[in-house]
Amino acid sequence: MEKNAGSGEEIWENLGLDESWKIWSAIAFERICLKHTPQIKTALGIRSIYTEEATWQCSPIKGKGAQIDLLFDRKDFVINLCEIKFAKTEYLITKQYAQQLENKKSVFKEQTKTKKSLFITFITTFGLTANQYSNRLVQNSITMDQLFE
């Protein structure tokens, strides 16, 4: 904070443009989500289904690695693969990011050898921008507000 010393009405807007603030915000939002798994289950409509929650990652093998922010391994033969994204507005899935999501799903299925259905779930501050990628890839979208209901 010392290097950012300043005053005035714009100080918070200026600090919010800093890369370190963006990284901190993303980590803080992810931690909040990890502490609100019951609320996420309620938003998904699976509160009464037994689940095991975890994070998951696979180091690159033959150039393909993956990391899942949060997953719900459900007793009803479904796994929700959750992407947690902090953004100041609705989150936009680009063509490049859609390819990364498909890679994550593929690597997870290959490495875990699961036979369960895999649902991509987004947990974002303000939701997703609807487009061809979000419509094709995302089964569930949860907003920050639903974490506090």
List the CATH number of the domain containing 64.
3.40.1350.10
Specify whether the CB–CB gap between 52 and 80 falls below 8 A: no
Cβ–Cβ < 8 Å for 53, 41: no
The pLDDT confidence band at residue 11, using thresholds 50, 70 and 90, is low
Task: Give the residue among 94, 41, 101 at the shortest CA–CA distance from 72.
Answer: 41
- The fraction of the chain above a pLDDT of 70, given in percent, is 87
Regarding predicted confidence, which is higher, 12 or 145?
A: 145
Q: Which of 6, 10, 32 is nearest to 146 (CA)?
A: 32
Share of the chain above pLDDT 90, in %: 78
In this predicted structure, the answer to whether residue 1 has a pLDDT above a threshold of 60 is: no
* Separation of CA 22 from chain center: 15
Residue 88 lies in a domain: yes
The boundaries of the domain holding residue 126 are 7-148
Nearest alpha-carbon partner for 46 in 121, 114, 111: 121
Is residue 124, in this structure, part of any structural domain at all? Answer: yes
Number of domains present in the structure of the chain: 1
Q: What is the pLDDT of residue 20?
A: 85
Residue 118 lies in a domain: yes
pLDDT tens digits, 58-94: 988 776 789 999 999 999 999 999 999 999 999 999 9
How many angstroms separate the CA atoms of 69 and 33, rounded? 10
Kindly give the pairing relationship between strand 138-143 and strand 117-124: parallel
CA distance 117 to 46: 15
More confident residue, 133 or 59: 133
Residue 65 C-beta-side C-alpha neighbours within 13 Å: 6
How far is Cα 13 from Cα 16, in angstroms, rounded to an integer? 5
pLDDT at 17: 63
Q: What is the pLDDT of residue 144?
A: 95
Is there a domain that residue 2 lies in?
A: no
